[in-house]
């Protein structure tokens, strides 16, 4: 009998279905505190009304494709080792999906406040570490159809990083609008394995140690060799001497204790704008994101008279996933520290400084090896890691040293084609990220379907005015764009200037001419002022009972004056841009009475929808 018990215990210890949390994943688990829940969240705006039960059925039908959604963490007795993922025998999807109604006024501010409240609450560590809030009644959110819904999903960082989060989107959402006709399949049967007992967990951890007792010194040795090799290579290859204090980080208002309440704001930019600037300046998209964020940070700290003389240092996470790992639910990231030139006023000089810093960082990163850096977390004994995390928070150790970095800025590429949920288009995705004591500001850029959302997460103590900070991000992007485009104009000054949006006017004229009802509804003169590099030119749209005409001339008293970049007008016609987007981003200026402006927007929307 005793032999059978021992045999069963050993069999449980060797059970490969119970996976241990990695050292890197555990970092996010043990950084959690009452004021710092360590989950990632996304706010997804779904166009048009979708039934709650339909949504829940979709999640239930696909949950088997995300195994960790039905697993919980089980701890080794006395916390002697990292915990394990095990099937939750009591899993109930109703404990993870909540139905809410957006209170009046059901506008963007109310939605942002509700999202902040949801994000501020911790996940229940006794259950699978995710939750979804289904928010109905987005009736007054600008540029979103009445009755649309929002989905706020929270997933603990111990489970995923940004890239694997994108993988989950690919599972839950559809790539084609036509998929709305597909019948939702019934959930697959769930037959959970029994939870391991404490003795099995102890044996499993002991087996892991005895199987490779030299794991810790081996990892430290490999990493030390890589670091030494990287340092030697950097000395050989670099023309500049890197001083010992080259990453001396200033103390800022972002590096204090955080409060439990989260604040956030977002700025939306067109990817085409960023890509155009990238080509002119011959930098990376990531360099431009860092420069835009640095400009916003500089403005914010200047206003508060808290801008340090030294440049702020950003922690820039880098994905180290290889092909085939994108769907794997875990953390596969390393980090690069970059000075973001907040001490430089000139935006172009700031961008050039950042590019130089990222190039140096990539060289160091490549020399050391991302995998070697990430393995360091696994080389730290569990008890020591857990104790260190607790002591850091309990004794406010951050007050006794300078922070290793001031802000985290992460850039996650998302799907570049529209996603759908039962035929309803996903119109926006915004990523919220965790902050903790000493690191109260994180900025996440996420690209989706031709746009980039730059979302700032902080707390009510560090940044109560996150919406203002997001405005500074937009202003920083506009300032940088204006200067770079001017630089680009100088480069191409020898090229002839030509109106590129002529196809728009030709198609619009034909559309109105062929529709008598529309022609009679929008009678009048409209003036289009097009920005062409350093010049402007005017086109008159004359809608008369007899005929519709377009002439290259300025109209003295138009019903509406439209000011827009020539390329933006062309991209509207080509459907590379949406009318709602350029209005939100203030890339079109309309002058006239409210009634006439609304009439013109109705005409343009009708034309663009039917073109």
Q: What confidence score (pLDDT) does residue 383 get?
A: 46
Tokens for 227? 């670091």
DSSP for 524-547, please give it: EEEEEEEEETTEEEEEEEEE-SS-
Tokens 């025998």, located at residue: 89
Q: What confidence score (pLDDT) does residue 495 get?
A: 46
What is the signed CA dihedral for 412, 413, 415, 420, rounded to 10 degrees? 20
CA–CA distances in Å: residue 502 to residues 147, 513, 575, 603: 37, 17, 15, 18
Tokens for 268? 């939306």
> Residues, the chain, total?
611
DSSP-derived secondary structure letter, 263 = E
Structural element, H or E, at residue 78 = none
**How many CA atoms are closer than 13 Å to the CA of 325, on its beta-carbon side?**
13
3-state secondary structure at position 86: strand
User: Given strand 548-551, what is the order of strands in its sheet?
Assistant: 548-551, 535-543, 524-532, 560-565, 588-592
pLDDT of 323-343, one tens digit each? Answer: 554 455 555 566 788 999 999
d(CA 411, CA 452): 10
CB 27 within 8 A of CB 143: no
CA–CA distances in Å: residue 355 to residues 118, 291, 352: 37, 9, 5
Count helices and strands in the chain by DSSP H and E runs: 18, 20
DSSP for 405-452, please give it: -SEEEEEEE--SS--EETTEEEEEEEEE---BTTB--EEEEEEETTEE
d(CA 608, CA 605): 5
Tokens for 143? 């540029």
Give every residue of the chain whose pLDDT is below 50, as ranges: 1-7, 9-10, 210, 213-246, 325-326, 367-389, 391-392, 395, 494-496
d(CA 371, CA 368): 9
CA–centroid distance for 606 within its chain:
32
Radius of gyration of the chain (CA): 28
What residues contact 320, with CB distance under 8 A and at least 6 apart?
332, 333, 334, 370, 371, 374
Q: CA nearest 442: which of 247, 300, 265, 273?
A: 265
d(CA 178, CA 182): 8
CB 593 within 8 A of CB 569: no
d(CA 281, CA 155): 37
Q: Looking at the DSSP assignment, which residues form a beta bridge with residue 120? A: none
DSSP-derived secondary structure letter, 283 = -
d(CA 563, CA 536): 9
Q: What confidence score (pLDDT) does residue 399 get?
A: 55
d(CA 574, CA 566): 13
Structural element, H or E, at residue 150 = strand 148-156
d(CA 229, CA 247): 20
511 preceded by a cis bond (ω within 30 of 0): no
Q: CA nearest 204: which of 2, 21, 3, 379?
A: 21
Q: What confidence score (pLDDT) does residue 387 get?
A: 45
Cα 504–505–507 angle (5° rounding)? 65
For the full predicted model, state whether its pTM sits above 0.75: no
Q: CA nearest 296: which of 446, 469, 51?
A: 469
Instruction: Give 418: exposed, middle or buried? Use CB within 10 Å, 0-12, 13-18, 19+.
Output: middle
pLDDT of 264-282, one tens digit each? Answer: 999 999 999 999 999 888 8
Structural element, H or E, at residue 580 = helix 579-584
d(CA 585, CA 408): 25
CB 548 within 8 A of CB 513: yes
d(CA 207, CA 245): 43
3-state secondary structure at position 63: helix
Q: What confidence score (pLDDT) does residue 7 get?
A: 47
Within a 10 A sphere around the Cβ of 279, how many other Cβ atoms?
11
DSSP for 30-94, please give it: HT-BTTB--EEEEEEEESS---HHHHHHHHHHHGGGSGGGGEEEEPPGGG-S--EEEE-TT--GG
């Amino acid at each position: 009998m005793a032999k059978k018990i021992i045999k069963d215990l050993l069999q449980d210890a060797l059970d490969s279905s119970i996976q241990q949390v990695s050292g890197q994943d555990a970092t996010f688990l043990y950084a959690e505190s009452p004021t710092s829940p360590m989950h990632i969240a996304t706010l997804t705006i779904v166009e048009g009304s979708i039934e709650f039960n339909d949504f829940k059925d979709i999640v239930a039908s696909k949950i088997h494709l995300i195994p960790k959604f039905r697993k919980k963490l089980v701890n080794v007795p006395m916390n002697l080792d990292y915990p394990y993922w095990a099937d939750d025998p009591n899993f109930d999807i109703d404990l993870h999906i909540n139905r809410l109604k957006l209170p009046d006024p059901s506008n963007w501010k109310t939605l942002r406040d509700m999202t902040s409240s949801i994000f501020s609450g911790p996940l229940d560590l006794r259950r699978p570490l995710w939750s979804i809030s289904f928010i109905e009644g987005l009736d007054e959110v600008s540029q979103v159809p009445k009755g649309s819904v929002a989905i706020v999903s929270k997933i603990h960082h111990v489970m995923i990083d940004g890239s694997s989060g994108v993988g989950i989107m690919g599972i839950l959402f559809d790539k084609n609008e036509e998929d709305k006709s597909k019948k939702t399949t019934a959930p697959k049967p769930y037959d959970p394995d029994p939870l391991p007992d404490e003795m099995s967990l102890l044996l499993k951890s002991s087996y892991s140690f005895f199987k490779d007792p030299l794991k810790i010194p081996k990892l430290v040795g490999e990493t030390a060799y890589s670091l030494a090799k990287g340092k030697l290579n950097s000395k050989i290859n670099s023309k500049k001497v890197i001083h010992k204090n080259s990453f001396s980080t200033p103390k800022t208002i972002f590096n204090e204790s955080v409060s439990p309440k989260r604040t956030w704001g977002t700025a939306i930019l067109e990817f085409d704008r960023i890509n155009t600037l990238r080509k002119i300046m011959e930098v990376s998209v990531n360099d431009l994101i860092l420069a835009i964020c640095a400009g916003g940070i500089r403005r914010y700290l200047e206003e508060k008279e808290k801008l340090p003389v030294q440049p702020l240092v950003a922690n820039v996470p880098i994905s180290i996933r290889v092909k085939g790992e994108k769907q794997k639910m875990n953390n596969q990231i390393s980090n690069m520290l970059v000075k973001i030139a907040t001490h430089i006023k000139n935006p172009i000089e700031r961008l050039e400084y950042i590019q130089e810093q990222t190039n140096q960082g990539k060289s160091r990163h490549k020399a050391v090896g991302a995998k070697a850096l990430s393995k360091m977390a696994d080389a730290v004994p569990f008890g020591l890691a857990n104790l260190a995390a607790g002591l850091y928070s309990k004794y406010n150790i951050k007050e006794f040293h300078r922070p290793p970095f001031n802000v985290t800025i992460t850039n996650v590429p998302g799907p570049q084609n529209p996603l759908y949920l039962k035929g309803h288009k996903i119109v926006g995705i915004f990523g919220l990220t965790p902050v903790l004591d000493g690191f109260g500001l994180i900025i996440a850029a996420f690209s989706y379907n031709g746009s980039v959302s730059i979302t700032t997460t902080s707390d009510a103590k560090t940044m109560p005015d996150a919406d203002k900070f997001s405005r500074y991000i937009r202003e920083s992007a506009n300032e940088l764009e204006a200067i770079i485009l001017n630089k680009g104009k100088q480069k191409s000054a020898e090229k002839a200037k030509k109106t590129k949006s002529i196809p728009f006017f030709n198609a619009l004229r034909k559309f109105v001419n062929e529709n008598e009802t529309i022609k009679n509804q929008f009678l009048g003169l409209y003036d289009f002022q097009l920005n062409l590099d350093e010049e402007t030119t005017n086109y008159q749209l004359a809608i008369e009972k007899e005929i519709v005409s377009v002439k290259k001339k300025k109209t003295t008293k138009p019903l509406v004056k439209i000011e827009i970049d020539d390329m933006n007008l062309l991209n509207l016609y080509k459907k590379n841009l949406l009318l709602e987007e350029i209005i939100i981003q203030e890339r079109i200026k309309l002058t006239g009475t409210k009634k006439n402006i609304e009439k013109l927007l109705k005409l343009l929307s009708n034309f663009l929808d039917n073109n």
